[in-house]
Amino acid sequence: MEKKTMKTILRTVVVFTLMLVVASCLDDDSSPQYLELGTTELGPDDQPLVITDSENTLQLVNPPSNFDDSVRVLLRYSVEETGDENNIYDYLVKAHSIQDVVTKDIIELNEENRDTIGSDDIYINDIWISGGFLNVDFAFYGNDEVHYINVVKDPEEQSEDESVVYLQVRHNNRDDEEIYRYRGLMSFYIDTLQVEGYEKVKIVFEEQEFYKQFEKIELEYSY
């Protein structure tokens, strides 16, 4: 696959959703498969499309019955056909699984939410930027309660350098029992971190006492 380079496709993320929803597995075959994040879109004739984070347009030959527009998804697929200038798509693909990914805003801490946002233990597997989102691959222990995961910006933790933004991943386990290990993937809108007068900022996740097995993460966000 050469079109628009597929190097970001091979970031293999194994995901179990926070809400314990299993990905809808469609039929399988022996063709090479790719796993990628993207956003759904309906074409001019309601073609089911996924615009991937690597900027490819994929048209699904077997969309799920509940396919909708403007949904963040994790798609596992194989390529059926490569498009040309006469096609709306870069690749015609067969979906093997398609899973909704929760999207949220980054929260700025204040006196009202500071004590309720939570600071329970969380495992950070990876954090990266793609598709206009800050993506967080995480894990935690729980049982049968819905847990709250957020990315927060604490004004009290910021430096005088406006080009550097300090963020934290916060977890509220809602007093759930720590029995089973769950893994999840969420995407956070990142445009609120843009600073006037700068073309890029550095995003820093420093070590916190509630992070488990964590090393400092620094990302560059260009816009």
- For residue 195, the model assigns a pLDDT of 96
- The last residue of a domain, from among 100, 133, 161: 100
Domain count, the chain: 2
Q: What is the pTM of this model?
A: 0.85
- Asked if residue 205 belongs to a domain, the reply is yes
If asked whether residues 132 and 157 sit together in one domain, one would say yes
If asked whether residues 28 and 86 sit together in one domain, one would say yes
Q: Which residues contact 220 (CB under 8 A, 6 or more apart)?
A: 200, 201, 202, 203
Closest by CA position to 122, among listed 147, 139, 143, 136: 139
If asked whether residues 174 and 116 sit together in one domain, one would say yes
Query: What is the rounded CA–CA span in Å between residue 81 and residue 79?
Result: 6
If asked whether residues 75 and 109 sit together in one domain, one would say no
96, 77 Cβ separation under 8 angstroms: yes
Domain harbouring 85, CATH code: 2.40.50.500
If asked whether residues 83 and 26 sit together in one domain, one would say yes
- Asked if residue 76 belongs to a domain, the reply is yes
How is residue 200 written in tokens? 């890029």
Closest by CA position to 176, among listed 207, 134, 143: 143
- For residue 28, the model assigns a pLDDT of 52
If asked whether residues 163 and 94 sit together in one domain, one would say no
If asked whether residues 84 and 114 sit together in one domain, one would say no
If asked whether residues 106 and 96 sit together in one domain, one would say no
Query: What is the rounded CA–CA span in Å between residue 42 and residue 68?
Result: 8
If asked whether residues 65 and 125 sit together in one domain, one would say no
Could you read off the pLDDT tens digit of each residue along the chain, which spans 223 residues? 554 433 333 333 333 333 333 334 445 567 899 999 999 999 999 999 999 999 999 999 999 999 999 999 999 999 999 999 999 999 999 999 999 999 999 999 999 999 999 999 999 999 999 999 999 999 999 999 999 999 999 999 999 999 999 999 999 999 999 999 999 999 999 999 999 999 999 999 999 999 998 899 999 999 9
Domain assignment of residue 170, given as a range: 102-222
- Asked if residue 63 belongs to a domain, the reply is yes
